[in-house]
């Protein structure tokens, strides 16, 4: 399926949308398509907003962000995310923040169709005070006080993977992040892939998402750049460093987005 059609068919303004991929396999091309189609008022969910949500937030697509680490890994700040939280530009951004363990478990609960997940952590921190999706429960067996996080159930989850077969079964390998949980927690899933093959081959550390769990598979080679797809590309660390300068200034950011995203030309992998 064409990525443009898949986004247009499945993602509406105001929806809760998760684009997952923990450093690896981040679905940048799909995020850019959301921006080109001018989606608004989205609730965006992602453990690490990364550059892709910095771009969506800076382009005014998001009303709310559910996340657990909002930095540019190894580089520093996400300037568009900071500008939205600190100055309300281009619009105010409501934030709901977890720890990594909290949000990973919230996806897992969503995938299991459970209302909440149980973990340690959060106790004694200010995170629980500022997040209505975190509470505490007593273990019915030992009486230990544990933290509870409400399940995350996106309307749509979008991920990038290495391969799909012609039936629409998807295979991804390498650092698999929280993609399986995010796909299974969602009402609908869109997957962009590097390659469509006749038959999937067994691979170490591979995750299979059966066709019946996915609404649309789109062939988008290089769709994770500047993140990467193990076996196809490497992480463009230079671009992650360069983004610090590009994103610092509002005008420069807008000019970059106009040139590289809005006017259609995908950044070459």
Contact residues for other proteins, defined by CB under 8 A: 22-24, 47-48, 67-71, 73-75, 77-78, 81-82, 85-86, 97-101, 104-105, 107-108, 119-127, 130, 174-178, 180-181, 205, 207, 228, 230, 234-235, 237-238, 240-241
What is the smallest separation between the CB atom of 7 and other proteins, expressed in angstroms?
25
Q: Give the nearer residue to other proteins in terms of CB position, either 38 or 73.
A: 73
Q: Please, what is the minimum distance in Å from the beta carbon of residue 13 to other proteins?
A: 26
Q: How far is the CB of 177 from other proteins (least distance, A)?
A: 5
Nearest to 68 by CA among 113, 118, 133: 133
Of 16 and 68, CB closest to other proteins:
68
Residue 184 in tokens: 């299974």
Residue whose CB is less far from other proteins, 10 or 235: 235
Cβ nearer to other proteins, comparing 97 with 165: 97
> What distance in Å separates the CA atoms of residue 56 and residue 68, rounded to the nearest whole number?
17
User: Taking the complex as a whole, how short is the minimal distance between the CB of residue 196 and other proteins, in angstroms?
Assistant: 23
DSSP assignment of 168-207: --EEE-SS-TTHHHHHHHSSEEEEEEEEEESSPPP-TT-E
Nearest distance from C-beta of residue 40 to other proteins, angstroms: 22
Least distance between other proteins and beta carbon 121 (Å): 5
Phi, psi values for residue 193, rounded to 5°:
-130, 155
Is residue 85 classed exposed, middle or buried when 0-12, 13-18 and 19+ CB atoms within 10 A define those classes? middle
DSSP type of residue 235:
-
Q: Which two tokens stand for residue 269?
A: 């992998």
C-alpha Rg value of the chain to the nearest Å: 18
Q: Is the CB of 120 or the CB of 166 nearer to other proteins?
A: 120
Nearer to other proteins, 15 or 75 (CB): 75
For 222, half-sphere exposure in the C-beta direction (CA atoms, 13 angstrom radius) is 6
């Amino acid at each position: 399926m064409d990525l443009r059609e898949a986004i247009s068919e499945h993602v509406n303004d105001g929806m809760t949308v998760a684009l997952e991929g923990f450093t690896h396999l981040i679905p940048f091309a799909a995020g850019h398509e959301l921006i080109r189609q001018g989606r608004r008022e989205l609730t965006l969910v992602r453990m690490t907003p990364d550059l892709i949500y910095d771009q969506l937030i800076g382009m005014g697509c998001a009303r709310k962000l559910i996340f657990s680490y909002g930095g540019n890994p190894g580089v520093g700040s996400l300037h568009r995310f900071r500008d939205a939280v600190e100055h309300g530009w281009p619009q105010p951004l409501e934030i709901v923040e977890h720890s990594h363990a909290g949000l990973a478990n919230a996806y897992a609960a969503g995938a299991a169709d459970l209302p909440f997940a149980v973990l340690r952590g959060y106790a004694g921190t200010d995170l629980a005070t500022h997040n209505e999706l975190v509470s505490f429960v007593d273990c019915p067996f030992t009486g230990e006080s544990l933290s509870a996080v409400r399940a995350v159930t996106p309307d749509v989850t979008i991920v990038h993977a290495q391969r799909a077969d012609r039936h629409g079964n998807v295979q991804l390998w390498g650092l698999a992040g929280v993609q399986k949980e995010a796909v299974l927690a969602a009402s609908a899933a869109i997957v962009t892939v590097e390659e469509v093959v006749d038959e999937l081959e067994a691979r170490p550390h591979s995750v299979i998402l059966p066709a019946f769990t996915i609404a649309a598979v789109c062939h988008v080679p290089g769709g994770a750049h500047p993140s990467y797809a193990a076996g196809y590309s490497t992480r463009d660390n230079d671009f992650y460093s360069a983004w610090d300068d590009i994103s610092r200034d509002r005008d420069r950011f807008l000019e970059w987005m106009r040139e590289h995203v809005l006017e259609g030309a995908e950044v070459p992998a």
